[in-house]
Structure 1
Amino acid sequence: MATDPFNITSEARNTLLVVTTLIVAVTFQAAINPPAGVWQDDKYSPANCTADTTDNNCTRIARAGTSVLHHQSKLRYGIFIFVNSLAFSAATCTIYFLLLGSPFRTETLISIYCMNGAYIASVGAVQPQTKKTWAILIGAILAPYIFRVFASIRKRHKLAREQDVSQGPPVFQLAISIENRRPRTIQNQKN
């Protein structure tokens, strides 16, 4: 690998890659097979209704293939999908940054974004189609990347301030700059 922006050993990098890959696999599996499973058949109210029933009193309350947990408790499902998606996204973000100096950076980036897209599509197929669950899902997927961008900006800003402090306040920097521009002959005449 070219440069190591995190100054970690190769052994530590390999360990982190194994752990994050395991987290990605587990969270992806948990997302497509959520706790309590998914409905095997459409569920109607009243219970004696079916898809073939033309009675207007029948209401479909659950679609086949959607999360049972969401039907039982929207709050618990929301917490589960947020935390699971956040762990998945943080792990894929970590993998990307660990492979930053790799010669296959572009391919890695494409793979990670495609994996995030597949995760969103899979969860979208299992979760009920509500704006709230989509907002939770997209927010959790984007959060680690947004935090990384802000951390990078903050770090650059901190480094810039440290460099400015070593040179002094801007007023002193201007005075030093003016002093350095004076011709040496004038300074020598004063002596």
Structure 2
Amino acid sequence: MVAETAVKKLYDAAKRGDLSTFQTLVQQDPFLVDQISFSRSRNVLHIATIHGQVGIVEELLRLNYSDLARDIDSKKSAPLHIAAAQGHVEIARKLSIVAPEICWWVDDQGMNPVHIAAMRGHVEILEVLLQHDLSPATERLHRGQTVLHLCVKHRQLETLRFLGEKMGDLVRAKDDDGETLLHMAVRCNRVEMVRYLLEKNKIQKLTENSMGKTPLDILKESSQHTAAYSEIEELLLRCSDKPLLNAFRGITGMTMVVVVLIAGMAFQAAVSPPGGVWQDDTSSHRAGKAVMASAHPGLYRHFARANTTAFASALVVLLLVIIRVPIKSCVLMTVVCYATVVSMAAIGVSYGASLSMVDPAETQTVGKIVAVVVSVYVGVHVFITVCVYVPEMYVTWKRVKRQNGDLPVAHRMRRCCYQFMRNFERMPIN
């Protein structure tokens, strides 16, 4: 039976960091450290760690009491759990060396030391614990939440930034409810975290959870009378090309088919121009030259320029789509779209010049044909806009107005645009 006086002296020495008293007690009874258990089933190493007494911890480890690092208290916390919670970096470093497996052990809350350090905002502790192995940070918590969800929940932006850069794709992980970090940040009104998660496209803001709700849908369910609400809404509704970027693969796939067809048509028209080519040499022409160039030189110049423009534009589109030049994707897609429109317009002009050449009545001119093509294009575009997009925008406007009452017009317009782009995002692309 250990005397109560010795227990109190050992506790006080570990608490105050009285190394000389501690060494004296251990010399008098080498088994004293192993025999004593304090409240909550804690040993001497627990007590020294709680109070940040690095000297006592070093002495215990020097005297080969490293097994104490694997003892757990009534809350299933090892000394390393306590060091992570208290932010004692040196103690955490020494304990992780003698018992690295403790980084995996969970307490009665289901959290390992990495989770605890992240929750408390101790970045230096995380650097120590994850120095050799990142795996403990990938362990899931209650309902499938990650350590990053824990950072968002407890307002630890610095640890979120640190782990976000270190863990990579874990930033986009979802919990069992299908919610990303952005969903949770919006739900908890974490403005700075929302801004961080949206920068550099870390998380797609249109991602839906298992209930089909995006972060903006979550925001609408919260109180609209807080200062954070407007800031978060501004971030989520900010003009973005993400819906277009998500559709980029399908759009470029369709564009490839179109431009390959245009390039083939332009090439065929160049080697086999309308009206054919001369078959023999004469004083006025040579064999293989275009008949159109001699009979209608002005019309042939229009045809040649338009045909060359169509062919060159199609090749530019093919090149950009194939090699994916190192510029922002939105810029790439804009160039691709405009180059495709140019090639289509040029092949239309080439068609008009060809038709003028082969028309026996010579009633068709390039200007007339171009006017017809433009009229048809504009008519179809106006029809689609009036019959599809305008009614959809109007319905969205009325719904937003009904839901939000006196919401400023600028905010209402942004929400309508968001709904429109969200519907565009969901359009099937074949």
Bucket of the pairwise TM-score, normalised by the shorter protein: 0.3 to 0.5
Higher RCO by CA contacts (8 Å cutoff, separation 6 or greater) = 1
TM-score by length of 2: 0.20
Kindly name which structure, 1 or 2, has the bigger radius of gyration based on alpha carbons.
2
TM-score by length of 1: 0.38
